């Protein structure tokens, strides 16, 4: 039981970072941008100025939860903690809880006529309804919590329990050796490499929103 608690507690610790990142994406409206990218990939791109289908918004949340659940659960497994998937459940469940409270609060306020677009431009009534999955604030909050928590737990369980988890462990070990190799450290230490990464990030941030909106 002690080891199970350790996996859960470590998941909560990792979950705070994930929660902060997730809520930042929500506040700047990136949830709809990520969903629009998925919609575009499946040939369902929204018209200019419109939000994508809510199903793609849920899918975007699920993808984030899967990534976090797998990452935290594999770390717990490497630490030989029992039931490592509990780490994924804790991390994504915490994020789902915070997001759910946010949806419940803002959804209720908007239903009562509040409007925060003067201070938080991205939080339009339509966007808040998008976050609610076009449900009531209570139902939307609950659905978002379940989507994140269950996706993270299931992904963590699959990553640590099924046979192909060994493949992931092998790839992780290979990547660790490459990352710590002398050539890799030399490249990462180069200021030209750092400048190049920064320039690439600027280009991506500049052009991707325009590509999604076209």
pLDDT in tens, 86-116: 889 999 999 999 999 999 999 998 888 877 7
pTM for the model stands at 0.72
* Average pLDDT of the residues in 1-11: 69
Residue 206 is assigned to a structural domain of this protein: no
Q: Rounded to 10 degrees, what is the CA torsion of 36, 37, 43, 46?
A: 20
Residue 55 is assigned to a structural domain of this protein: yes
Average of per-residue pLDDT values in the chain? 83
Tell whether the model's pLDDT for residue 214 goes beyond 60. Answer: no
Tell whether the model's pLDDT for residue 122 goes beyond 90. Answer: no
Burial profile 41-62: b = 16 or more Cβ within 10 angstroms, e = fewer? eeeebbeeeebbbbebbbbbbb
Count of domains forming the chain:
1
pLDDT attached to residue 147? 94
pLDDT attached to residue 169? 64
* Average pLDDT of the residues in 151-172: 77
- Of 27 and 45, the structure prediction assigns the larger pLDDT to 27
Window from 30-34, 172-176, 209-213 with minimum mean pLDDT:
209-213
Q: Where are the alpha helices (DSSP H) in 28-164?
A: 30-41, 54-78, 85-111, 125-131, 137-161
What is the pLDDT confidence band of residue 166, given thresholds at 50, 70 and 90? low
pLDDT attached to residue 108? 92
Residue 116 is assigned to a structural domain of this protein: yes
Structure tokens at 95: 């994020």
Residue 84 is assigned to a structural domain of this protein: yes
Residue 20 is assigned to a structural domain of this protein: yes
Q: Cα(72)–Cα(90) distance, rounded to whole angstroms?
A: 9
pLDDT attached to residue 116? 77
φ/ψ of residue 141, rounded to 5: -65, -45
Tell whether the model's pLDDT for residue 164 goes beyond 60. Answer: no
Q: Is 135 left (phi over 0), alpha (psi -120 to 50) or beta?
A: beta
Q: Which domain holds residue 61?
A: 2-164
Residue 134 is assigned to a structural domain of this protein: yes
Residue 192 is assigned to a structural domain of this protein: no
Window from 38-47, 60-69, 110-119, 130-139 with minimum mean pLDDT:
110-119
* Average pLDDT of the residues in 138-153: 94
Residue 49 is assigned to a structural domain of this protein: yes
Structure tokens at 195: 């400048």
Window from 6-15, 53-62, 93-102, 159-168 with minimum mean pLDDT:
159-168
């Amino acid at each position: 039981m002690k080891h199970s608690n350790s996996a859960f507690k470590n998941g909560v610790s990792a979950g705070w970072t994930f929660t902060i990142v997730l809520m930042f994406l929500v506040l700047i409206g990136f949830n709809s941008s990520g969903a629009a990218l998925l919609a575009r990939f499946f040939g369902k791109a929204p018209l200019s100025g419109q939000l994508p289908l809510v199903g793609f918004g849920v899918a975007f949340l699920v993808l984030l939860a899967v990534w976090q659940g797998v990452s935290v659960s594999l770390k717990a497994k490497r630490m030989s903690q029992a039931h490592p998937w509990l780490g994924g459940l804790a991390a994504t469940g915490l994020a789902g809880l915070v997001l759910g409270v946010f949806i419940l609060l803002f959804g209720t306020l908007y239903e009562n006529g509040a409007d925060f677009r003067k201070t938080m431009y991205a939080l339009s009534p339509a966007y808040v309804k998008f976050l609610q999955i076009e449900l009531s604030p209570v139902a939307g909050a609950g659905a978002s919590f379940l989507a994140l928590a269950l996706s993270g737990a299931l992904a963590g369980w699959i990553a640590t329990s099924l046979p192909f988890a060994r493949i992931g462990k092998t790839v992780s070990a290979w990547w660790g050796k490459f990352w710590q190799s002398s050539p890799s450290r030399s490249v990462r230490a180069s200021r030209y490499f750092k400048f190049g990464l920064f320039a690439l990030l600027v280009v991506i941030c500049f052009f991707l929103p325009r590509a999604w909106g076209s």
